[in-house]
Amino acid sequence: MNYTKPIVIAEIGCNQMGQFEIAKELIKLSQNCGADVAKFQKRNNKEKLIPEQYNGPHPNAWKSFGSTYGTHSKFLEYSTGQHSELKK
């Protein structure tokens, strides 16, 4: 059989806790571990969630970075410009 080398994707997710320098470090660590790509997610929770969810408390308050789920998710989201910088 003729197999091709798989592409290894490092899912960064929200493991950087909204800290941009940690995000950049996680990309370097992913590369050092053999990952070909580091994946982040960009979403708009204000459009995705109903107002009660967005304005309500985070389901695990001890993990939250804000008083509401919306505040929490805004804290973790990077701007389009920051995502462009991470891509470089």
What is the tens place of the pLDDT at every residue in 26-49? 999 999 999 999 999 888 888 989
Residue 57 lies in a domain: yes
Question: Distance between CA 66 and CA 63 in Å, rounded?
Answer: 9
In the predicted structure, residue 56 carries a pLDDT above the cut 80: yes
Residue 32 lies in a domain: yes
Q: Which domain does 45 fall in, by range?
A: 9-87
Burial of 35 (0-12, 13-18, 19+ CB in 10 A): middle
Residue 71 lies in a domain: yes
Residue 54 confidence class, pLDDT cut points 50, 70, 90: very high
Q: How many domains, the chain? A: 1
Residue 75 lies in a domain: yes
Residue 37 lies in a domain: yes
Helix, strand, coil percentages in the chain from 3-state DSSP, rounded to 5: 45, 5, 45
Q: What distances in angstroms separate CA 49 from CA 13, 54, 62, one per listed residue?
A: 19, 6, 21
Residue 3 lies in a domain: no
In the predicted structure, residue 14 carries a pLDDT above the cut 80: no
In the predicted structure, residue 4 carries a pLDDT above the cut 90: yes
CB 14 within 8 A of CB 72: no
pTM for the complete prediction? 0.77
Residue 58 lies in a domain: yes
